C-alpha cells in the first residue's frame, strides 16, 4: 500500500511503559498500606490511563470522593519515575530505522498529557526523530475521537488517507477509523481485558513491530 506516514500510540504500542506505570501504582498502594501487585495484573490496564490503573490498583474510580486525590498522588509518583524501566518494544528501533530509510514519516499520537509525554519521548531518544508528537491535551477531544490524529496530520502536513495508525487499544482503532486512516492493532501490546483484539475491526493485526513492514510492502 502507498503510505506517507505511520502514527503510533505511545503506551503499549511504541514503548513498554507498564513497568514504570505499575511501579507508580504500587507506590500508591504502599501509601495506603497495601502490598504491591504483580505487574502481570496491572499491565493489561496500562493503556486505559489513570482511571484504568487506579481501578486495577485500588478498585476506585471517578465516582469515589477520594479519586481526585489518589489520581494526583499516582501521577506525582509517575512523574518522579517517568522513564526508569520504560523501553521501546523489541525491534521497534529496527522498524523506525526502516521507515526512515524509506522516507516514510512517523509520529506519536497519545491520550497521555504533554507534561508526561514530552519528557518520556525525550528520554526514549525519539523527540528529534518523530515528525510530530501529539498529546491528549493538545485537542478538544481524546481518542476515540479523531481530533488528535487530525491535528497530527495538520502539524506534519499529512493526508490522513495515506497514514497508518497503530495502537494497542480498541479506542485507537476507532480513532484511526474516525480519522480516515488505515488502522493496525498492535496485538503485542496491553490490549485491555474487555473486547478481544480480533473484534476491534482493525484493518490489520500485527504481533510484532516488524510485521508492519509487510503491510506497507517493504
DSSP secondary structure, 21-51, as one string: HHHHHHHHHHHTT-PPPPHHHHGGGGGGHHH
Cα–Cα distances (Å) from 117 to 48, 108, 111, 195, in that order, read: 15, 10, 9, 26
Active site residues: 9, 11
**CB neighbour burial string for 92-114, b if at least 16 within 10 angstroms, e if fewer:** beebbebbeeeebbbbbbbbbee
Amino acid at each position: 500500500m502507498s503510505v506517507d506516514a505511520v502514527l503510533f500510540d505511545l503506551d503499549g504500542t511504541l514503548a513498554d511503559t507498564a513497568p514504570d506505570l505499575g511501579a507508580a501504582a504500587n507506590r500508591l498502594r504502599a501509601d495506603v498500606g497495601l502490598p504491591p501487585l504483580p505487574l502481570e495484573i496491572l499491565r493489561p490496564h496500562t493503556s486505559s490511563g489513570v482511571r484504568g490503573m487506579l481501578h486495577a490498583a485500588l478498585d476506585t474510580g471517578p465516582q469515589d470522593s477520594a479519586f481526585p486525590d489518589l489520581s494526583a498522588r499516582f501521577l506525582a509518583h509517575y512523574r518522579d519515575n517517568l522513564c526508569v524501566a520504560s523501553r521501546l518494544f523489541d525491534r521497534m528501533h529496527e522498524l523506525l530505522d526502516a521507515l526512515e530509510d524509506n522516507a516514510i514519516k512517523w509520529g506519536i499520537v497519545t491520550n497521555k498529557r504533554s507534561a508526561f509525554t514530552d519528557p518520556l519521548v525525550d528520554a526514549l531518544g525519539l523527540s528529534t526523530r518523530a515528525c510530530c508528537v501529539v498529546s491528549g491535551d493538545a485537542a478538544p477531544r481524546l481518542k476515540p475521537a479523531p481530533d488528535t490524529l487530525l491535528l497530527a496530520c495538520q502539524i506534519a502536513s499529512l493526508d490522513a488517507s495515506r497514514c497508518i495508525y497503530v495502537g494497542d487499544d480498541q479506542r485507537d482503532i476507532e480513532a484511526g477509523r474516525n480519522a480516515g486512516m488505515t488502522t493496525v492493532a498492535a496485538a503485542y501490546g496491553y490490549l485491555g481485558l474487555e473486547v478481544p483484539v480480533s473484534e476491534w475491526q482493525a484493518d490489520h493485526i500485527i504481533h510484532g513491530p516488524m510485521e508492519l513492514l509487510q503491510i506497507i510492502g517493504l
